[in-house]
Amino acid sequence: MTPEIFPKRGRRWEATEILSKKTRRLLLDPAIHEEFTRLKNLVEEKEKKVKELQDNLAAVNFTANSRLGKMLMAKCRTLQEENEEIGAVASEGKIHEMGMKIAVLKTQNAELKNQFEALYKHTEGLASDLDTSNEMVALLQEKLEEKDRLLKKLMSQNEPKDEPNESNCDEKSDQETELVVET
């Protein structure tokens, strides 16, 4: 597309290029660029406002028998069905998750129950051993007290009196020996 082959197009091309260069120079100016941006934003706002007003007008004219009304009703039904399906799936997921948690808790509960029963039996065994030990200690204390009394008695008999009699002492020694042997 050179100017020699298509002379008319070449001139248009040059004119477009010149216009494009001028536009670029104008947009490079900050004040013009700012104004251009403001106007562009204003146009976008107005387009949104027009769209909103058109939607409001369509809503006012909305009837179940109109073409738009039928489309909206079909879309609402589709969305409602999708919501119900999603709700059912979510509910099933939650129910499954809760079931898994319950199963884990039941297993833990059974383990704790078994451990408690084992500890209870062990505690009963320890209590029984303690009772037996206490009875044995009481019995040994009684025997010890009895031996202490016997020892005191023998010591009191063994003490010399005012006039010791040798034959009497020999008899006592024999008696003490017999008592000690018996115990």
What is the CB-side half-sphere exposure of residue 164 using CA atoms within 13 A? Answer: 11
pLDDT at 111: 95
Q: Are 183 and 147 in contact (CB under 8 A)?
A: yes
- The percent of residues in the chain predicted with pLDDT above 90, rounded, is 41
Is the CB of residue 183 less than 8 Å from the CB of residue 151? no
Among left, alpha and beta (phi > 0; psi -120 to 50; other), residue 87 is: alpha
Residue 87 has pLDDT above 80, yes or no: yes
Residue 1 — very low, low, confident or very high, per pLDDT cuts 50/70/90? very low
Place 173 in a pLDDT band, splitting at 50, 70 and 90: low
Is residue 105 scored above 60 in pLDDT?
A: yes
Residue 166 pLDDT > 60: no
For 113-148, how does the pLDDT look when each residue is reduced to its tens digit (9 = 90+)? Answer: 999 999 999 999 999 999 999 999 999 999 999 999
Residue spans of the domains in the chain: they are 1-61, 65-124
CA pair distance 162, 11, nearest whole angstrom: 164
